[in-house]
Amino acid sequence: MNPSPAPVTWYREPIVWLLIALPLSAVVAGFATLWLALRSDDGLVVDDYYRRGVEINRTLDRDRAAAARGIAARVQFDDARRGAQIELNLPIGQGPQKLEVQLLHATRAGYDRRIVTARATDGAYHVALIGLVPGRYHIELASDDWRLLGSLRIPEDMRLELVPVAGLVAH
């Protein structure tokens, strides 16, 4: 008599596990992709393109105004990176009462900072910058009718000179 072979159970076959592992890994990767998509905000999509186009013209007028008035600024960060002092090259008392300072992170809109600061008695503007994430930032100093642009790297840059955007002249 022939002995019957031992019954083979499916979970002991490597090919079965291979066939299960491939689709299962695709499902796990899909959930990981979904988690990343929901957790991070790209911040790059603009809802109203027409309004942004109109704002560009107003922004260019502000750049031209800064160039026509010869406005420049020096930004000096303190050693502990807890603040900055901004000095405009205007005569004392002729600077705006309030200055809007925007630090725009180059890649992550969630790290952007917008600060409105008043002119101090020494004619400078002092800004508290607690908890800035290291990286590249675009900086914008703005008043009602002009603005200055520049860029810096945190924590490498301790001093920054801002001048009107090159190539713009007053018309």
Domain range list for the chain: 10-39, 49-162
Residue type, 107: T
pLDDT score of 169 more than 60:
no
54 vs 13, more confident? 13
Contact of 169 with 69, CB cutoff 8 Å: no
Q: Residue 107: pLDDT band by 50, 70, 90 thresholds?
A: confident
Please report which confidence band the pLDDT of residue 116 belongs to, taking 50, 70 and 90 as the band edges.
very high
Q: Over the stretch 120-146, which tens digit does the pLDDT of each residue have?
A: 888 888 888 877 888 899 999 988 888
Question: Which tens digits make up the pLDDT trace of 37-54?
Answer: 888 876 666 667 667 666
* pLDDT on residue 44: 61
Fold observed for domain 49-162:
Immunoglobulin-like (2.60.40)
